[in-house]
């Protein structure tokens, strides 16, 4: 898909504490264009927590650097960019993925593959999404509880199906590692790590109210829903401190 001036939607690279972010005015158009041209890509949804994990884990940092598209999913990343004068809008991965599903339901008959979540969750998410967007071709759903015995058949099915879109909900960083390891099986597919999106689409969990999301406080609601995440949430003040330190010392 082209911009209003007839030029392809281009990405501007930027760095967030050593890992890349890609800036554009229309991520959805960029992805639709990739699918229409059968150009595979790996999409990473970057937030503050993942950025700090990447500082500690070189393997994750390498996967993020190799990704074709890294979007500003988290409020912390958006605020970091604004410290450098970049007035960007947050692009939540769940919203981008659903917008892409909606677009594909209207224009493309290609297959879509869901992988991840607890047993039955991805399948229920597919049912709900197909009811919401008639024509959506979600052709296979697989929960995230593969065993050594079931993995070969699953990978064979994925390779045989050759979907145009693969959504992987295994959590960070497992989903990023899994995509990097297996994307060669479907080289023309768009691969996106969607975290807990299947739970939201299935109706087993809810997103934060709009007023929390609009005020960069969605993390508060996630902590309320999943209090066991409190140790991981400590990365948020660490990210804020590192961001300020980086901005005012360079």
Which residues does 233 contact at the CB level (< 8 Å), separation at least 6?
49, 219, 223
Summarize the confidence of residues 130-143 as an average pLDDT.
Answer: 94
Instruction: Name the band, by pLDDT with cuts 50, 70 and 90, for residue 15.
Output: very high
17, 45, 202, 223, 239 from 50: Cα distances, Å: 11, 9, 25, 16, 10
Asked if the model's pLDDT at residue 213 lies above 50, the reply is yes
* Percent residues over pLDDT 90 in the chain: 74
Q: C-alpha angle with apex 211: 209 to 216, nearest 5 degrees?
A: 100
**Backbone torsions φ then ψ of 166, nearest 5 degrees:** -125, 115
Closest CA to 117 of 153, 93, 148, 145: 145
Q: Are 146 and 118 in contact (CB under 8 A)?
A: no
Alpha helices in the chain (DSSP H): 27-36, 48-56, 58-66, 75-83, 93-107, 121-132, 151-161, 174-182, 197-202, 210-214, 218-225, 230-233, 235-249
Cβ burial 160-184 (10 Å sphere, 16+ → b, else e)? ebebbbbbbbbebbebbbbbbebbe
Spatial contact of 198 and 117, defined as CB atoms under 8 Å apart: yes
pTM, to two decimals: 0.89
Rounded Cα distance, 60 and 52, in Å: 10
For 147, the token pair is: 């065993």
Q: pLDDT tens digit string along 183-210?
A: 999 999 999 999 999 999 999 987 766 6
The pLDDT score that the predictor gives to residue 2 is 33
pLDDT band for position 107 (cuts 50, 70, 90): confident
- At 248, the pLDDT band (50, 70, 90 cuts) reads confident
How confident is the model over 218-247, as a mean pLDDT?
72
Distances (CA, A) of 153 to 50, 149, 189: 31, 8, 19
The string of pLDDT tens digits covering residues 110-128 is 899 999 999 999 999 999 9
| Predicted pLDDT of residue 208 | 60
Other Cβ atoms within 10 Å of 146 Cβ, number: 15
Name which of 15-19, 28-32, 87-91 the model is least confident about. 87-91
Report the distance separating Cα 101 and Cα 80, nearest Å.
Answer: 29
For residue 180, pLDDT over 80 is answered with yes
């Amino acid at each position: 898909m082209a911009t209003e001036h007839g030029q392809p939607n281009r990405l501007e690279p930027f760095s967030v504490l050593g890992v890349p972010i890609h800036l554009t005015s229309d991520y959805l158009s960029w992805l639709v264009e990739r699918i229409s041209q059968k150009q595979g890509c790996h999409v990473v949804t970057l937030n503050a927590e993942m950025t700090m994990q990447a500082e500690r884990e070189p393997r994750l940092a390498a996967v993020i650097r190799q990704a074709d598209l890294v979007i500003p999913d988290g409020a912390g990343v958006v605020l970091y960019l604004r410290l450098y004068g970049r007035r960007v809008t947050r692009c939540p991965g769940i919203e981008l993925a659903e917008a892409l599903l909606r677009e594909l339901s209207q224009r493309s008959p290609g297959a879509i593959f869901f992988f991840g979540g607890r047993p039955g969750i991805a399948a229920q998410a597919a049912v709900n999404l197909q009811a919401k967007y008639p024509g959506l071709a979600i052709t296979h759903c697989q929960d995230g509880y593969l065993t050594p015995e079931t993995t070969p058949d699953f990978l064979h099915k994925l390779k045989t199906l050759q979907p145009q879109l693969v959504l992987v909900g295994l959590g960070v960083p497992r989903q990023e590692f899994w995509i990097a390891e297996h994307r060669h099986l479907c080289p023309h597919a768009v691969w996106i790590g969607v975290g807990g999106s299947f739970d939201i689409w299935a109706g087993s969990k809810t997103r934060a109210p709009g007023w929390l999301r609009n005020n960069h406080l969605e993390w508060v609601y996630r902590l309320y829903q999943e209090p066991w995440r409190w140790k991981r949430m400590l990365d948020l003040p660490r990210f804020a401190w590192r961001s300020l330190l980086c901005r005012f010392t360079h």
